[in-house]
Structure 1
Amino acid sequence: MELRQFVSELKSRKVYRTAAVYCAGAWAFLLVSDIIFPVVGLPDWTVTAVLVIAALGFPLALILSWLFELTPEGQGAHMAEGEASAEMPFSSARIIELTVVLILCGLVGYLYVGRLANPPDTSSIDPTIADASIAVMPFVNLSEDEELGQPR
């Protein structure tokens, strides 16, 4: 099978979409589990177990998306190569997907440009001071009791 033909077959069987949805779902589930599991009292290794299970399930999801096609009528076997797809190139779902992707790219670009435009001000930091330094402040007795400030 030629590479170009293989890539078009991946697109027609929606393997790319399955990979993207699986990664987004696994990422969201990992974020939620990272926050919720310690609150519930589960041990720290359970978050790692969720990560391992998600990683092991990824190839399985790709294999199932290659073998089966999910349609609004349910799960069915992939149609034969000779059959034409009735899917429109500019359906409403594709327009919504494109809009969401463009908005997310715009937000990431906006945040990135904002960081480049306003770099942190490092001119007030004295370069002679080491990174691990301690400031020692003199003790000033502000009370009326003279014995507090006297050495013993």
Structure 2
Amino acid sequence: MEAEPISHCAEVLGESKLKKKLIYRVAALYSVVAWVVLQIADVVQEPLGLPEWFMTTLIALIAGGFLIALGVAWLIQPGQETSESPSQVLSLESILLIIVVAALGWLIITDISQSDSKPSSLNSSSGIGRPVVVLMDTFAPRGVYDEETRQRSGTNADVLSEVLGDLEIITQKETLGSDWDRESQVLEQNPSLVLIHRSAFFHSMAKDLEVKYPTATEQPSVVFNKHYEIAENKLVAFLGYIADQNPNTRFVVYSRGTGGGWADEDYRKNWLRKVESRFQSLKGRVRPIPVPGGVAKGSWQSPEGRRVIRALVKQMLRSKEEQISK
């Protein structure tokens, strides 16, 4: 009669060990797959122009999924898992192992191909291959011109990439933030042309630091003006740094002129004189332009906006190539 309790205890202990084994297996497998997913996301984030918060959100989702996976593993009865034959379990684990190895191989090949592609992009600005055009803007809502683009957390650079998509150029997008410091990566692309939103650094900074924007009847606060000055200095310093390092790069600085006089030609000429006096290397290489449509409705998606920016990019690339050939 005592054999039954002993047998029952042994059965319970056996099930507990099997359940722990299953949980450990799920945890280990999930960790490996999560690592692969993060590596893939890191590789594709920049080429796809994904926003900076993408990786943070993905890590949070993976962490939540890990807890869910452990919970599901705990609820599975050991008998259900052990009902599979050893060959079935081995087959499943082998398939998963093949998938992981294949993913790792893909990452390695991608890294190698990206490294090999850098020399070709460097040559493109010397007339070999297509010229590189870098599109730089912020995903801060106040700096995005179109409601549809704002809703999908996009940038004006996404719109410009589509507008210029059929030209014989290579476009690279840079999403600007208040702590952006990828000047060296921009230089590696050896761009023929850089298109940058004048207020991109400021809108990113204002969003991160929660700077209050003035209303139509208010004057900008001291804090607002201070941060705008810092952002403006960062913009000009960036332009000067790239110009000093790469004598073949030209620049288009665009803005709708919200809250400023950018739409006025004299204002832009005065701004350009200040920029060129600070960095002699920028002389004759910067084109400040207003976005067609005015302060309220300026957009690169409008027919006029598309026509203007396409014509300007073609003109600046053509004049740049003519200058190099002299």
| TM-score for the superposition, normalised by structure 2 | 0.21
In our comparison, the structure showing a higher alpha carbon Rg is 1
TM-score by length of 1: 0.42
Higher relative contact order (CA 8 A, sep 6+): 1
